[in-house]
Structures are given as C-alpha cells and as structure tokens.
C-alpha cells in the first residue's frame, strides 16, 4: 500500500526584509547575497508569529474536520522550541481541535527533525492505513544582526498530512541515511543565537550529499537514473547547487546533473523568497517544485535530501501521485507571499531585537489567523483573529 504526503501547506510571517536593501545598509555588495548566496527576501517574524502560531497557521491551511478526527499523532520538528519541556505539538493539538485520543510531541536534530517525523508518520500509517498523522516543521532562523549568517536567516512553517493512498507524494520504505558527529552549527542552551562554522558547514553539507548518493548507488545502482529531480534542504538557495557541483566533481554522470539542474530554480523559488526555515526548508523546496514546475508528471520519482547540522542526512525517495497538481494551489501560495509587508532596516532591527515579555496588555494580531496573544505566568496564550 502507498503511504506518504496527502496534503502540504505553509505559512510565512507577514514581514520581510529585502536582501539588496539590507546588504547595501551593511556595506556589502548586494550581488553577494542575491547571486553568491541566492536570497531575495528574508522572512521576519513578529512576536505574534512565534513558532507555535506559525505551526498552527500552516496546519490550519490544510486540515478539514474529517482530517482532525482521524489524526493519531501531531509531530513537530523544530530547533526553535519555546519550552525545554512542553512541546509545540501539544499547543497545536489543542488550537486546531485534533481528536483528543492522539499523541503530540516534538523532535529535535537541527534541520533534520521534521524528516525524522515524516518517516515515523509513514511507518505508523503503514501499520494503520485508516489513520493519519500531522507532521509540522516550524522554525525561526537567527544568527544575529550584522553577523556572517545574517543573510541566511528566515522564518516559517510547513505542515504535511501523512496518509495511506496519498494524493501528492508516495514515500518509498527504503531511504539512505548517514550520521556524522560534528560541530558545524549548533546552539548551546545558554545562547539565543546559533553558533556556526560557516565555511565548514557548507563543506560538510556537500560531503554528506556525496556520501549519501554513493551509499544509495551501492545499494541500488539504478536509483539515481530514476530520479527526475532532487529537492534539497536549502539554508540558502546556492547550497543545493554547490552540493550538485560537489557530486559532479566526484564523477557523477552529466545526464543526472543536467536533468536535476533543469528543475532547480523552480524547486528553490519559495526558499529564495523566504530564507532558511531550518526544519521546513526541504519541504518548502518540495512545495516550490510542485507549485512552480509545470513540467512535472504523475509517476515521476523525486529525491528529497534532508540535512541537519551536527550532522544527520537522509535521502528520501517519493513518487508523484495521479492528480498531485490539483492538490497544490499555486495562486494561493504566491498570494500568501505577496501579502507580506516590506520592512525598512530600522524596523527589521527593532522587530528582530524585540522580546516576549510577561505583561497584562495583550499583543494585537497583525492579520487573520492564529497569533500569540500574551504570556501570563510564563504560559503562552494564543488566539485566533478572524
Ligand atoms: P560568507 O563568508 O558571508 O560568504 O559566508 P562567502 O565569502 O562564502 O561567499 C558566499 C558566496 O558569494 C561565494 O560563492 C562567493 O564567491 C560569492 P561560492 O564560492 O560559495 O559559490 N560572492 C559573490 N557573488 C556575486 N557577487 C559578489 C560576491 N561576493 C561573494 N560581489 C555562509 C556564507 C553561508 C557560510 C554564511 O552566510 C553562514 O555562515 N551561514 C550560516 C550557515 C549555513 O547556512 N550553512 C549551510 C550548510 S549547514 C546547514 O545547511 C544546516 C543549517 O540549516 C542549520 C541546521 O541544520 O539546523 C544551517
């Protein structure tokens, strides 16, 4: 029986920073960020769009009352949790009205967490094909103002409903994975911002990609021939291209590269407009490919390359299902991006530095949807604005 992604939705906060404007302000050639890094816009999260609110909004965009009655698990992948103990998933379970006899929990392994969640969800549904699992990736990528990583920040959430007989992407049981204990990017408990060895991290990412593809080929010599496109974890949109070039340098067939590169711009468009959303980044790239690439056909097979610093990488294989295109609302996706308000650098810095505080005065919602209303007695309280 086929198991996989039946629905996929996303949410980005209502603010963005234009990368050219920010680069100019920082005294950097804008081409370095738009061409060298490959980013146009960076999503900026106001306090009201924290990781919980973003997760709830992404999931609310895809779920029907019937879905909510058949979801047995809410799994959230994140590295921006709001609590060391209580999971984001428990908030979202309540906010969305998922049936109560379900479990809800959070997974952490840098940007890889939601991929582990997706695989757990598939395994669960394989044994119980009448049930569903909600998997959400939600994160705010923060390196700090005027830092080396600033151009690779972002914020957003992607939600996926995993079911039997999925209407978008059936996921193969077999995947290819690799763990390699390293300090390329990490965030100690005391630190508000990620610590990163930037150049080492990009090298390690490329090495992991090549290692996984070589391992996959060893097990299944014709696997890569069968992949029409590969979607990548994209901390910035140049990263996947760098990985493909590293694979080429390792002796990859030219035919694979030209085929995969022919889909690359479409598969990175949304990421270019949003920035790094950590756990959701690869799934945003998948959504981007599905929405922007008119050449995709039912039955084609895709590779999904997930990378989480520290480091864990996995190549998942999926197959596009009959009618998949009808499950993706391209106009709504683009309208969701277009609704955003551009910030000046001054406002971006103010929003970036603002901190949630305990106060009686509730925050005002900036738009319709779920938002953080207030924090009382160290408890986050959310509301829904019509
Ligand atoms: P940097 O030192 O600012 O930039 O660091 P650079 O000097 O490496 O230049 C970047 C590119 O711009 C280069 O291209 C330059 O040639 C080019 P490349 O050689 O790489 O192809 N360039 C220009 N192009 C056009 N016009 C110009 C120009 N000037 C230079 N005028 C870095 C960049 C990404 C390292 C930094 O932003 C950073 O540290 N970011 C955070 C870490 C990161 O994103 N690492 C990616 C791999 S790790 C990962 O993916 C996991 C992660 O998502 C976290 C998790 O798992 O949780 C981060």
Catalytic residue positions, numbered: 79, 111, 233
The answer to whether the CB of 10 falls within 8 A of the CB of 159 is: yes
For residue 243, report the distance from its CA to the centre of ligand 1, in Å: 13
**Alpha helix locations (H) across 156-253?**
198-219, 238-249
Residue 281 tokens, joined: 């980044």
Q: Which atom of ligand 1 is nearest to the CA of 311?
A: 56
For residue 124, report the distance from its CA to the centre of ligand 1, in Å: 38
The answer to whether the CB of 266 falls within 8 A of the CB of 75 is: no
The answer to whether the CB of 53 falls within 8 A of the CB of 369 is: yes
For residue 312, report the distance from its CA to the centre of ligand 1, in Å: 20
Nearest CA, atom 33, ligand 1: 198
End-to-end CA distance of the chain: 40
The mean pLDDT of 141-170, rounded to a whole number, is: 98
Other C-beta atoms closer than 10 Å to the C-beta of 340 total: 18
Other C-beta atoms closer than 10 Å to the C-beta of 148 total: 12
Q: What is the pLDDT of residues 13-69, one digit of tens each?
A: 999 999 999 999 999 999 999 999 999 999 999 999 999 999 999 999 999 999 999
Q: What is the pLDDT of residues 54-103, one digit of tens each?
A: 999 999 999 999 999 999 999 999 999 999 999 999 999 999 999 999 99
- pTM across the whole model: 0.98
- Using 50, 70 and 90 to split pLDDT, how confident is the model at 361? confident
The answer to whether the CB of 118 falls within 8 A of the CB of 247 is: no
Cα gap 77→80, rounded to integer Å: 9
pLDDT at 229: 98
Residue 32 tokens, joined: 């370095």
Q: Which residue has the tokens 């090495």?
A: 207
* Of 24, 51, 80, 198, best ligand 1 pocket probe by most atoms within 8 Å of the beta carbon: 198
Cα gap 224→165, rounded to integer Å: 25
pLDDT over 90 (residue 141): yes
* Of 34, 199, 202, best ligand 1 pocket probe by most atoms within 8 Å of the beta carbon: 202
pLDDT at 60: 98
pLDDT at 255: 85
Cα gap 16→167, rounded to integer Å: 32
Nearest CA, atom 51, ligand 1: 309
pLDDT over 90 (residue 253): no
pLDDT over 90 (residue 358): no
pLDDT over 90 (residue 199): yes
pLDDT at 153: 98
Q: What is the pLDDT of residues 108-131, one digit of tens each?
A: 999 999 999 999 999 999 999 999
- Using 50, 70 and 90 to split pLDDT, how confident is the model at 359? confident
Nearest CA, atom 58, ligand 1: 235
Residue 97 backbone class (left: φ over 0; alpha: ψ -120 to 50; beta: rest): left
Cα gap 3→184, rounded to integer Å: 34
Q: Which residue has the tokens 């940007």?
A: 111
pLDDT over 80 (residue 360): no
* Of 35, 150, 185, 187, best ligand 1 pocket probe by most atoms within 8 Å of the beta carbon: 185
Q: Which residues lie with the beta carbon below 6 Å from any ligand 1 atom? A: 29, 31-32, 35-37, 79, 110-111, 148-149, 151-152, 184-185, 196, 198-199, 201-202, 205, 233, 235-236, 238-239, 276, 278, 307-309
- Using 50, 70 and 90 to split pLDDT, how confident is the model at 251? confident
pLDDT at 252: 84
């Amino acid at each position: 029986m086929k198991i996989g992604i039946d629905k996929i939705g996303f949410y980005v906060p209502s603010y963005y920073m234009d990368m050219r404007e920010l680069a100019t302000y920082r005294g950097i050639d804008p081409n370095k960020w738009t061409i060298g890094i490959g980013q146009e816009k960076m999503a900026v999260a106001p306090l009201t769009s924290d990781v919980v609110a973003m997760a709830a909004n992404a999931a609310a965009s895809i779920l029907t009352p019937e879905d909510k009655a058949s979801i047995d698990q809410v799994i959230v992948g994140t590295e921006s949790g709001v609590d060391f103990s209580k999971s984001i998933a428990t908030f979202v379970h309540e906010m969305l009205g998922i049936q109560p006899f379900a479990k809800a929990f959070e997974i952490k392994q840098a940007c890889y967490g939601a991929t582990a969640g997706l695989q757990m969800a598939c395994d669960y549904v394989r044994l119980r094909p009448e049930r569903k699992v909600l998997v959400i990736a939600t994160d705010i990528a923060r390196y700090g103002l005027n830092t080396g990583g600033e151009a690779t920040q972002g914020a957003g959430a992607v939600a996926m409903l995993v079911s039997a007989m999925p209407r978008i992407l059936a996921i193969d049981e077999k995947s290819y994975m690799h763990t390699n204990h390293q300090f390329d990017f990490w965030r100690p408990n005391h630190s508000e911002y990620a610590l990163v060895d930037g150049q080492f991290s990009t090298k390690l990412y490329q090495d992991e990609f090549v290692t996984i593809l070589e391992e996959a080929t060893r097990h299944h010599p014709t696997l890569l021939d069968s992949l029409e496109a590969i979607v990548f974890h994209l901390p910035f949109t140049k990263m996947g291209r760098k990985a493909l070039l590293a694979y080429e340098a390792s002796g990859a067939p030219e035919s694979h590269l030209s085929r995969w590169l022919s889909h690359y711009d479409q598969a990175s468009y949304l990421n270019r407009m949003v920035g790094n959303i950590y756990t959701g980044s690869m799934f945003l790239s998948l959504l981007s490919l599905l929405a922007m690439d008119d050449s995709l056909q039912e039955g084609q097979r895709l590779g999904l390359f997930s990378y989480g610093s520290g480091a864990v990488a996995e190549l998942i294989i999926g197959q596009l299902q009959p009618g998949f295109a009808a499950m993706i609302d391209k106009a709504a996706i683009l309208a969701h991006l277009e609704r955003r308000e551009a910030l000046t650098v001054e406002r971006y810095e103010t929003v970036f530095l603002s901190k949630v505080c305990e106060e009686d005065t509730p925050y005002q919602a900036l738009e319709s949807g779920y938002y953080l209303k207030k924090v009382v007695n160290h408890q986050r309280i959310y509301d829904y604005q019509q």
